[in-house]
Structure 1
Amino acid sequence: MSEHAPIRIENFSHVCIGVSDIDTSLQFYRDVLGMDVVFDVALEGPSLAAVTGREGERGRMVGGLIGGTMVELLSLGEVSQYAPGPHIGYTNMSLRVEDADAAYAQLQAFDGVVCKPPVDIGGVRMLFVYDPDSTPIELVELPAGAATTDQLWRPTAQ
């Protein structure tokens, strides 16, 4: 793998945490950890299916700052207490790249690296690359010159 240049990472974007009950989790993160809510969006459609691998899923994502770090809470519907599935707990870390399509093209040059093509969700272009243990790492391209997800949702933060 060392014969190719690494992907240029602009900065850390966010941590995503899958939750079983978004309202209860939001209350905890806001009241106990002081989350400053920045956005609250509904999720559905082909782009979500491309990321989750399952058609017809709907969800909700709430993001906010905790100690200056963006944390996203992700809920994708009903979860059995006996089989929580792949979307509870840590789901991925996210790193910002300047151009998701260029990053995807660059990743294709590495033998054995698994990644999915970029998709658009909520105005953000993103793709997932998987480490050797299949841990997802999200690479995001933020629109309109935003350098952080806080700037994306609060344009006056620039």
Structure 2
Amino acid sequence: MIKVKQLAHVCIFAHDLEATRRFYSDVLGMDTRFNFLRDGRIFGFYLDCGGRSHVEVFEKSEARYSEANQINHLCLEVEDIDAAIAHFRSKGVEVTPKKFACDDTYQAWVRDPNGVKIELFEYTDRSAQFTGGDRIADW
């Protein structure tokens, strides 16, 4: 029997590698852990999400994004969702209003420069992720 310890990484493709790096670095504050090189050129990188979790990014200019992609979105926990929303807006990034979800978490949504959806999450003391119990989806 295998036991999964945690999410290691989510891999996304980038139309513009450096615009994507700037978004995740300047807007989300995620540091580059390392780059992938081929023929002396950077073609991808790993971003630190805290702990041992990462976002892996590879350049792929021909990538197309739609609702049918296998990875629908990535979700990042934030300490203060109101501050996060204000931060995104100050950087000129569109962000949805804060919503209190059926799992007793706060959430908001943004997109990176490639259209990849990112859910921002703030847990509460009643969040289902900690308390358990089924929740009725309101979406």
TM-score between both structures, scaled by the size of structure 1: 0.39
Bigger relative contact order (CA 8 A; separation at least 6): 1
Larger strand percent: 1
TM-score between both structures, scaled by the size of structure 2: 0.44
